[in-house]
Structure 1
């Protein structure tokens, strides 16, 4: 009963300026990614409470020629039924899905390093993405069986997937803390996004005399 996250999260999505404006002006749109190497499976990605990391990502993609003008889109997110890989229940469950996927496939994809990454953080995570998508597929099969047998569904779908990642250069020589470490949240259910917004800059604050 502790797996429902009933507090709101602020997420930040690095993107092109055009995408940012489109989603703010048409907030019912949803940018659902299906890249085979995405770290937490398919969905819309946000850096949790980390606007700076979203800007870093957007500027990196601009340098690579993948976006024209870097921008950051803010979102108010209700995680809802969250597959939270900071909870041992879900990491242990994922191990079982990996075993079941291995039994059904002749060969499995692997996580690979990107040429642009100096720190070998396995940025192309095709194995992780495949196992997580296998989990969602298995849950959909369970739901269909429940619906046929009972007329309703016991197994709820995940609204979001969440995990912490240690990434990048050490913060100082010999450190275990890395400069790009962060928490990502992948939104699968569009209704988990309550609003989009433009992040504000901090303004000078002076008390009136």
Structure 2
């Protein structure tokens, strides 16, 4: 009853400039990510209302060995979340918890291993390789589909990075991330303006 989120949010996608220009000029579309370690399962990923974090991501990704980013760039999107699996909403948190228990039962029955979240390399304390979380979100989608429900988007908050001061539980890369499964949720794309002040 309360799952639909008709209000729009701004999403920011860090990527290569040439690819961004192709999307902006309707020569290409955003690509769905479907890696087994994606934090929110399949979909097109955006940083919700966080241009700077998208920019940081593009700069970080450019340094990775298999990157497609030659010139870091940020593309903005106007997004309607519609029927959203929102992990900031208690009933969806409970549903994903249920999906996890159902997935574990299914894997145990079939003698298959339970995926785990792990790091990329030895210094990744944020466990960016989220194979368990990805599998659970995918299982949640499968359960919903059996009940005749299809989610258009997934939304979650992530605590990430280093403490912003000694003893803090606020971290310097905290963010809300979106995974958009239904391309019709993306109502428009735009070139973000550079802010004229810090706040």
Normalised by the length of structure 2, the TM-score is: 0.91
1:54-203 aligned within 5 A: 54-65=54-65, 66=67, 67-105=69-107, 106-115=112-121, 117-118=123-124, 120-143=125-148, 155=149, 157-203=150-196
CA contact (8 A) 1:15 1:71 kept: yes
The alignment covers a number of residue pairs equal to 191
**Structure 1 stretches lacking a partner, 5+ long:** 144-154, 205-209
Distance 1:52 1:134 in 2: 32
C-alpha displacement at 1:117, in angstroms?
A: 4.4
Confirm or deny: 8 A CA contact 2:22 2:28 kept in the other structure.
Answer: no
Q: CA RMSD in A?
A: 1.6
Tell me by how many angstroms 1:29 deviates: 2.2
Q: How big is each residue's C-alpha offset from its partner over 1:68-117, in whole Å with a ceiling of 9 and x where there is no partner?
A: 11111100000001111001101111111111111111211100012274
TM-score by length of 1: 0.86
Q: Which runs of 5+ in 2 are unaligned?
A: none
Instruction: Report the 3-state secondary structure (helix = DSSP H, G, I; strand = E; otherwise coil) of the residue aligned with 1:8.
Output: strand
Local SS of the residue matching 1:20 = helix
